Amino acid sequence: MKKSIFIALLALMAGFGAYAQQYKVVTSVESIVPNGLGRSRIINALEDKDYKDYTSVQTEDDNTRNKSDRGDIRVKNFEETKLLNFYNIGGIRFQNIAANDAVITSMINDMITNGWELAFVVSGVESEAGKGDGQGIFITRYIFKK
């Protein structure tokens, strides 16, 4: 009897560990271009791509190229959610940052409601940083898993 219960529990635990996890990346791009000239968005791809289709193998003996064109990588089906820019003519707008936080929070809550778990958040800034510093973006990738 004890042996049957142990085997049943072991089988049940193995079943829980055997499922494959699925990941999804959603990206927010927030403009840090002065005078409100940039564009800020949340981008969510609605189609999948297999990275193997765009991967080549490089060896000393030969270059094995894949047959796909770089244009094939483009995703044509995606959601684009508008966000506000960090700057306007008056300078940095904290109200815009708060508004973006509210929209991003709504998106995260919707993903969680749909069974996704926020696993990682990665962000970075790209800025010219030269004299005048007229360009830049703040990018954040939200990595969800199911």
Going residue by residue through the chain (146 aa), what tens digit of pLDDT does each one get? Answer: 666 665 666 566 655 555 679 999 999 999 887 776 788 999 999 999 999 888 888 887 765 556 667 778 888 899 999 999 888 777 788 999 999 999 999 999 999 999 999 999 999 988 776 676 667 888 999 999 99
Residue 36: phi, psi to the nearest 5?
70, 25
pLDDT value for 45: 95
Q: pTM to 2 decimals?
A: 0.76
pLDDT value for 40: 93
Between CA 19 and CA 7 the distance in angstroms is 19
Residue 42: is it exposed, middle or buried by C-beta count within 10 angstroms (0-12/13-18/19+)? buried
Between CA 127 and CA 137 the distance in angstroms is 7
